[in-house]
């Protein structure tokens, strides 16, 4: 099929009116007066119509990474996501909403009275502080479920997020559907932070890519679960830090529940079936089970404090070396005998997060044999932890720090 890249300028879509002056008004009480003409509005309407009726997913920008969206209530549409990404069907999808009213309408089951808020109370403070934004919350799945079963991977919960990107919010609002959307990359490859990354992976597999420019955050949302156990947990690090979460009532003792190396295994090692085969366990959130963020080239990650890479970091025959520098490595790192391609992400942690996936993709497209990456100290905060989480998933080799 032909893949079209359609530009969308958020400043040319129209003007949003808030019904109240409160800072949380965008969660519910907002209206848009659409621009009467223009390419951006026409392209957004075209994409929304595809989401409403089509079976091919639509790629669109969010503040974190580009998403690959489909109507979360139609199996035929959601199956299109898995087909385009070539993604395992037991990996759950995050569902995106444009307002709390839209989320509440999905959560309400016949057991809920009109006066009862179906959003669990544990999340109310997080919603007020972090939505719209890069935070996904695990919600209970109502019965009967309005979501396509392919969204939840047979779980009794699902992840919900309200993105901060204006293009994403207006697309979901215009489509008037909850939108299931993982990152818009081929499965296992680095997440896309620009429309060209999506096109490189998915050209010919989808029909529409909305190009809203580069993403602001650069790594996927933080995923939290406050309903499945006695203690709230973080299932995936991202744009909201553990310290920010702990400042919220009920989240003072939130724990980390992800394990970088264990996440790469495609099967659980925690138990085995009676016949001796490994037990298959569905991940509770995206990114918890399968290898991810991996270029074709061999990736060697140097943990913070591991020093500057030497010749022994490059195997025999690996002549074309990619180098990703962050905070301390000197230019060139003393590689004289190899063809060297270098990307300097700078020392600012948020800039590193924004540029990480793009750097991996750039070096991979230039056919380097090995990519040496300077890691950062994950104790700096959850953005740093998110960067290292993604790098450990991409790396074949880790060089530990002192």
Answer yes or no: do 179 and 70 share one domain: yes
- 308-331 pLDDT, tens digit each: 998 778 888 788 999 999 999 999
The answer to whether the CB of 322 falls within 8 A of the CB of 298 is no
Please give the model's pTM, rounded to 2 decimal places. Answer: 0.87
Q: Distances in Å between the alpha carbon of 285 and those of 141, 228, 257, 268, 397?
A: 14, 12, 11, 15, 25
Residue 308 has which token pair?
């500057």
Answer yes or no: do 170 and 317 share one domain: no
When pLDDT is cut at 50, 70 and 90, the band that residue 370 belongs to is: very high
CA nearest neighbour of 309 among 329, 295, 294: 329
Q: Beta partners for 278?
A: 272
Residue 327 lies in a domain: yes
pLDDT at 269 over 80: no
When pLDDT is cut at 50, 70 and 90, the band that residue 46 belongs to is: very high
How far out from the chain centre does Cα 112 lie?
Answer: 31
Overall number of domains in the chain: 2
Residue 161 lies in a domain: yes
pLDDT at 293 over 90: no
Residue 236 lies in a domain: no
Residues 6+ apart with CB under 8 A from 238: 64, 134, 135, 136, 217, 219, 220, 221, 222, 223, 382, 383, 386
Query: Which residues constitute the domain of residue 192?
Result: 4-211
Q: What percent of the chain has pLDDT over 70?
A: 88
Answer yes or no: do 77 and 204 share one domain: yes
Q: What is the pLDDT of residue 188?
A: 86
Residue 187 lies in a domain: yes
Region 87-104 average pLDDT: 90
Answer yes or no: do 192 and 341 share one domain: no
Q: What is the CATH number of the domain that holds 46?
A: 3.90.870.10
Sheet of 397-399, strand order: 339-344, 320-325, 370-374, 298-302, 397-399
Last residue of a domain, one of 211, 235, 257: 211
Q: What is the CATH number of the domain that holds 374?
A: 3.40.50.11030
The answer to whether the CB of 98 falls within 8 A of the CB of 173 is yes
Answer yes or no: do 61 and 199 share one domain: yes
Answer yes or no: do 324 and 194 share one domain: no
Residue 273 lies in a domain: no
Last residue of a domain, one of 185, 211, 237: 211
Residue 235 lies in a domain: no
Q: What is the pLDDT of residue 314?
A: 86
pLDDT at 265 over 80: no
Q: Which of 15-24, 176-185, 388-397 has the highest mean pLDDT?
A: 176-185
Residue 248 lies in a domain: no
Residue 288 lies in a domain: no
Answer yes or no: do 42 and 165 share one domain: yes
The answer to whether the CB of 6 falls within 8 A of the CB of 210 is yes
Last residue of a domain, one of 186, 211, 236: 211
Answer yes or no: do 194 and 302 share one domain: no
Q: What percent of the chain has pLDDT over 90?
A: 68
């Amino acid at each position: 099929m032909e893949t079209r890249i359609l530009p969308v300028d958020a400043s040319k879509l129209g003007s949003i009116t808030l019904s109240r002056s409160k800072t949380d008004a965008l969660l519910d009480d907002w209206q848009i007066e659409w621009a009467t003409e223009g390419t951006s509005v026409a392209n957004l309407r075209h994409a929304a119509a595809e989401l409403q009726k089509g079976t091919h997913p639509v790629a669109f920008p969010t503040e974190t990474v580009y998403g690959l969206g489909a109507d979360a209530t139609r199996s035929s549409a959601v199956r299109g996501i898995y087909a385009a990404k070539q993604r395992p069907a037991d990996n759950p999808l995050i569902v995106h909403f444009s307002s709390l009213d839209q989320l509440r309408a999905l959560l309400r089951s016949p057991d809920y009275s009109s006066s009862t808020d179906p959003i669990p109370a544990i999340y109310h403070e997080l919603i007020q502080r972090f939505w719209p934004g890069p935070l996904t919350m695990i919600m209970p799945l109502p019965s009967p479920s309005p979501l396509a079963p392919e969204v939840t991977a047979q779980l009794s919960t699902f992840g919900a997020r309200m993105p901060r990107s204006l293009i994403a919010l207006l697309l979901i609002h215009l489509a008037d559907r909850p939108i299931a959307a993982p990152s818009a990359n081929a499965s296992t490859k680095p997440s896309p932070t620009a429309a060209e990354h999506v096109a490189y992976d998915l050209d010919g597999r989808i029909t529409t890519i909305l190009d809203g420019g580069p993403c602001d955050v650069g790594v996927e949302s933080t995923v939290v679960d406050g309903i499945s156990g006695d203690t709230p947990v973080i299932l995936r690090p991202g744009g909201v830090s553990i310290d920010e979460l702990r400042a919220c009532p009920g989240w003072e003792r939130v724990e980390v529940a992800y394990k970088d190396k264990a996440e790469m295994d495609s099967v659980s090692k925690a138990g085995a079936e009676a016949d001796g085969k490994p037990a298959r366990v569905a991940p509770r959130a995206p990114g918890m089970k399968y290898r991810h963020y991996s270029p074709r080239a061999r990736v060697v990650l140097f943990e913070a404090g591991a020093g500057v890479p030497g010749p022994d970091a490059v195997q025999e025959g690996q002549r074309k070396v990619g180098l990703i520098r962050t905070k301390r490595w000197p230019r060139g790192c003393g590689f004289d005998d190899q063809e060297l391609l270098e990307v300097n992400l700078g020392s600012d942690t948020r800039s590193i997060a924004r540029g990480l996936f793009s750097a991996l993709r750039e070096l991979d497209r230039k056919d380097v044999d090995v990519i040496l990456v300077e890691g950062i100290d994950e104790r700096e905060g959850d953005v740093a932890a998110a960067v290292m989480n993604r790098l450990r998933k991409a790396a074949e080799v880790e060089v530990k720090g002192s």
